[in-house]
Amino acid sequence: MTVMTESTSYTLLEAFEKLASTAPETVRLEFINGRIEEKRVPDGDHDEIIRWLQKRCMQHRTDAWLYGERGLKVEAYRKGRARPDGVLAPEGHFAGDGEWSDPDGVLMTVEVTSYDRDTDRRDRIEKHTAYATAGIPVYLLVDRDAGAVIVHTNPDPKSGCYLDIHRAPFGEQVVITEPVGITLDTDVLKAYVR
């Protein structure tokens, strides 16, 4: 059994950041739950869901932008580094930041499930915990396997859980409460599932 000290943890984190910064464009890496994870490169339907969501956010939140693949420090959760598919934050929020930003001020993270063996653990469990622990107000999961949008709100950083979860099948309207404050008609998402 290996015992990691605080300094060892930072050494691993520094090694990860160096590795991630030199990875080719076709590889996306994250450091979640103490492990280096490769994030699958999105397929076209995944990209279309993000495009659709960016457009909705632009229409209803002119003061914010849905940034794609923005690196976030989810440090409270095992000194992690995550790359959500989307990060809604005030316009200009990440100016001057390097590859990894603090989650303070982030309004919402978005993940769209991929068709791989790790999506259940990564998107439904580990990232849910990481984003709640970081205190991000809203975690929006577009679950293509389940054909549903799951809105996680009211994070409890101590427990690493979102206290309120609303699940809506594709085709229903979904209200995303403040600080996001938009309603999504999810019928279009039916076109982007296998």
Q: Could you tell me if 89 and 118 are in contact, meaning their C-beta atoms sit under 8 angstroms apart?
A: no
Q: Enter the tokens of residue 150.
A: 């799951």
| Residue of 176 and 82 predicted with greater confidence | 176
Domain ranges of the chain: 42-192
- pLDDT band with cut points at 50, 70 and 90 for residue 132: very high
How much is the average pLDDT of 13-21?
A: 65
pLDDT higher than threshold 50 for residue 3: no
SS3 137: coil
Nearest to 37 by CA among 111, 132, 87: 111
pLDDT (average), residues 132-158: 95
- Given a cut of 80, whether residue 90 has pLDDT beyond it is yes
- What tens digit of pLDDT does each residue of 54-82 get? 999 999 999 999 999 899 999 765 578 88
Residues ≥6 apart with Cβ < 8 Å to 38: 27, 28, 29
Structure-model confidence comparison of residues 136 and 40, the more confident one:
136
Rg (C-alpha) for the chain, rounded Å, is: 16
Helix locations, 23-67, DSSP H: 44-60
| Number of CB atoms found within 10 A of residue 3's CB | 5
Residues 6+ apart with CB under 8 A from 13: 31, 79, 81
Q: For residue 127, what pLDDT is reported?
A: 85
**What are the beta bridge partners of residue 92?**
none
Q: How far apart are CA 146 and CA 140, in angstroms?
A: 14
Q: Report the amino acid identity of residue 17.
A: E
Least confident of 38-52, 96-110, 143-157, 178-192: 38-52
* For residue 17, pLDDT beyond 90: no
Question: Is 64 in a helix, a strand, or coil?
Answer: strand
Out of 3.30.70.270, 3.90.1570.10, 3.40.50.12780, 3.40.50.300, the CATH code matching 42-192 is 3.90.1570.10
Widest Cα–Cα separation across the chain: 52
What is the Cα–Cα distance from 77 to 28, expressed in whole angstroms?
A: 19
Token pair 């849910």 is at which residue? 128
Q: Rounded CA gap, 106 and 174, in Å?
A: 20
């982007």: which residue's tokens? 192
